[in-house]
Amino acid sequence: MYQQLILASASPRRREILEQAGIPFVVQVADFDEESVRKELGMDSFGIEGRNEEDYTAYVKALALGKAQAVFRENADVDGTLVLGADTVVVHRGEILNKPVDLEDARRMLLRLQGDIHAVYTGVALCHGAGQPDNLPAFVNFAVRTEVVFYPMDKAEVEEYLACGEYMDKAGAYAIQGRMAAYIREIHGDYYNVVGLPLSSIVQELKKLQNNV
């Protein structure tokens, strides 16, 4: 059974989800170069066309695994360590919408998402005891996809939402658990996946691992 769960993320939303579930953990932010994954997979931050679900799934899985492995390497000498890495992206009509760089970028994202459907992908990696030839940790690596449908928003509603500041540090420039909830028409899949961590899927994997780590 694992003795310590390390969350390899600075996201307050992910911390809140784990705390809500009563799962003990500590936080250690990964020192990981996400750009290396983009280059390796031939992905750019914006304007990706002709991609499919497998591409986005592979992308978030690689990001999550890279973060988890980076933190595990720093704690590999601690028995019973289990590291949880995660990464979330929003995809709309072939474009990956990461965290907005500024207010104008957030406005652009919200205007394109309003009245339409988009997908949220979260990659998850659980790294535990060494056991591979190259001394990398053994791991579980998967991704969860959720579809979200927005009601139409006029420009005034978009500006009102931007004014609350909730868009900052959010993939796709919105927080489904915040004021944007007023404009969510439908969700197909795991709600917590959109928040940033597919909790139930992770708990099922932890149950499988708890007697083997």
Q: Which of 44, 87, 105, 154 is catalytic?
A: 87
Which uninterrupted H or E stretch holds 109?
Answer: helix 103-113
Confirm whether 44 is a catalytic residue. Answer: no
Other Cβ atoms closer than 10 A to 115: 14
Q: Find out whether 57 and 88 touch, Cβ atoms under 8 Å.
A: no
- Sign of the torsion formed by the C-alpha atoms of 203, 204, 205 and 207: positive
Q: Find out whether 89 and 59 touch, Cβ atoms under 8 Å.
A: yes
One DSSP character per residue, 131-173 reads -STTSPEEEEEEEEEEEEEEPP--HHHHHHHHHTTTTTT-GGG
Give ∠ CA 113-53-139 in degrees, rounded to 5: 115
Largest pairwise CA distance in the chain? 58
Q: What residues have CB less than 8 Å from 212, skipping those under 6 apart? A: none
Give ∠ CA 101-122-44 in degrees, rounded to 5: 45
Q: How many residues comprise the chain?
A: 213
Just list the catalytic residues.
87
